[in-house]
């Protein structure tokens, strides 16, 4: 009260006095200097008494950077990188067509290439991957592309289910990647034959068939990408699935960006893999579907592996009745 009377008297005597005084309604204003506080620490935190210490975070400017990446850069990266691969594959297909083992070359005799466990592991991982990829792309593009077409109700129902699918199918996918790693690592160790295969461009541009073991250098690259990429996706995904357990909000922004970028690269590499395993090359799909391939296909694509297998007894499994054998 006394202060207010002094203040009123001083203002009467000297009208400029009031303007020189700090605003009496906001006495703490001068102490909250945002840029100065942020110079000393990456975020502004308060002091709280509730158990959830996260609630003490008042301001975290890196969030703005992350939002710029998430809403600005990410959709462009997500469209451009797989889009460029689709274009490349389309051009390749138009120029080269389907790589065929000539019908007159087919021997009609089969050799076992993948056992039931290998095929189960591969298709479990592949099925999970396709659903994870589609539901992942929905995080980036759904709001922009799907919602205007199907409407907000349908989009929110779809997104809810796709989120459940993403969260739950991550587990069999991780198991699949680990199993695939365990089963095939022995056949994917790089060697000198791979270097020669790469130098020959896999024979893709010369219509030749460079030497190759069970997996050629291109397949080995796919294998290592799947294993390393799968582990990065698993680790970064876990930090998002269990928020604040391993890292705080800043760390989660970084792992989210990593998850999204590696995810988009993973999809891009797998587009090439799926292309070559289906329309790109005749005979490849048959191996992963039935477990057996024609001897002529094996000779053309994996000659060193075929020699090795022929050295082992009983691997050339059967002769097709409809086709003459040799």
Binder among 139, 155, 197, 215 for ligand HEM (CB under 6 A): 215
Find the part of the chain contacting ligand HEM (CB under 6 A) among 13-21, 151-159, 255-263, 276-284: 276-284
Strands (E), 182-285: none
Cα dist from 198 to 119, 237, 288, whole Å = 27, 33, 24
Q: Is 202 in the site for ligand HEM (CB under 6 A)?
A: no
Q: How far apart are CA 37 and CA 251, in angstroms?
A: 21
110 binds ligand HEM (CB under 6 A): no
Q: Closest separation between CB of residue 202 and ligand HEM, Å?
A: 12
Nearest CB to ligand HEM, comparing residues 59 and 187: 187
Pick out residues in 1-60 that bind ligand HEM (CB under 6 A).
Answer: none
- Name the token pair of 194: 């791979």
Which region, judged by CB under 6 A, interacts with ligand HEM, from 1-9, 63-71, 154-162, 220-228?
Answer: 220-228
What letters, b where the CB count within 10 A reaches 16 and e where it falls short, cover 80-101? eebeebeeebeeeeeeeeebeb
**Is 126 among the residues that bind ligand HEM (CB under 6 A)?**
yes
C-alpha 1/C-alpha 20 separation (Å) is: 20
Residue with smallest beta-carbon separation from ligand HEM: 277
Using DSSP, state whether 276 is helix, strand or coil: helix
Of the CA atoms within 13 Å of residue 19, those in its CB half-sphere come to 3
Contact pick of 109, 166, 259, 273 for ligand HEM (by CB under 6 A): 273
Helix then strand then coil, % of the chain, to nearest 5: 70, 5, 25
By CB under 6 A, the residues from 281 to 310 that bind ligand HEM are 284-285, 287-288
Q: How far apart are CA 266 and CA 129, in angstroms?
A: 10
66 contacts ligand HEM (rule: CB under 6 A): no
C-alpha to C-alpha distance for 275 and 90, rounded to whole angstroms:
10
Q: How many residues bind ligand HEM (CB under 6 A)?
A: 21
- Regarding 213 and contact with ligand HEM (CB under 6 A), the answer is no
Kindly state whether residue 210 participates in binding ligand HEM, applying the rule CB under 6 A. no
Question: Whole-angstrom Cα distance, residue 82 to residue 275?
Answer: 13
The residue within the footprint of ligand HEM, chosen from 57, 124, 130, 147 (CB under 6 A), is 130
Binding-site ranges for ligand HEM (CB under 6 A): 113, 122, 125-126, 129-130, 180, 215, 219, 222-223, 226, 270, 273-274, 277-278, 284-285, 287-288
């Amino acid at each position: 009260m006394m202060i207010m009377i002094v203040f009123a008297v001083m203002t009467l005597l000297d009208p400029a006095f009031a303007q020189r005084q700090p605003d009496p309604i906001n006495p703490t204003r001068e102490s909250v200097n945002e840029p100065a506080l942020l110079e000393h620490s990456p975020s502004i935190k308060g002091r709280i008494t509730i158990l959830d210490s996260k609630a003490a975070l008042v301001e975290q400017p890196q969030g703005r950077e992350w939002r710029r990446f998430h809403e600005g850069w990410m959709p462009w990266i997500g469209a451009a990188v797989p889009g460029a691969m689709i274009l490349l594959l389309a051009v390749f297909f138009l120029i080269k067509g389907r790589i065929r083992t000539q019908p007159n070359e087919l021997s009609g005799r089969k050799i076992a290439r993948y056992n039931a466990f290998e095929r189960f592991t591969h298709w479990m991982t592949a099925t999970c991957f396709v659903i994870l990829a589609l539901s992942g792309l929905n995080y980036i593009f759904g709001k922009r592309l799907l919602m205007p077409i199907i409407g907000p109700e349908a989009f929110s129902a779809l997104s809810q289910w796709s989120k459940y699918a993403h969260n739950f199918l991550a587990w069999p996918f991780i198991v699949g990647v680990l199993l695939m790693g365990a089963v095939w690592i022995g056949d994917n160790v790089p060697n000198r034959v791979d270097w020669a295969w790469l130098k020959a461009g896999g024979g893709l541009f010369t219509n030749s068939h460079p030497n190759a073991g069970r997996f050629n250098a291109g397949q080995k690259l796919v294998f290592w990408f799947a294993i390393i990429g799968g582990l990065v996706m698993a680790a970064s995904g876990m930090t998002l699935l269990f928020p604040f357990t391993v890292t705080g909000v800043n760390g989660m922004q970084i792992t989210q960006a990593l998850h999204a970028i590696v995810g988009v690269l993973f999809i891009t590499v797998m587009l090439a893999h799926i292309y070559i395993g289906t329309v790109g090359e005749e005979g490849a799909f048959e191996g992963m579907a039935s477990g057996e391939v024609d001897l002529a296909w094996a000779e053309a694509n994996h000659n060193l592996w075929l020699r090795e297998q022929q050295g082992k007894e009983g691997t050339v499994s059967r002769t097709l009745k409809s086709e003459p054998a040799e």
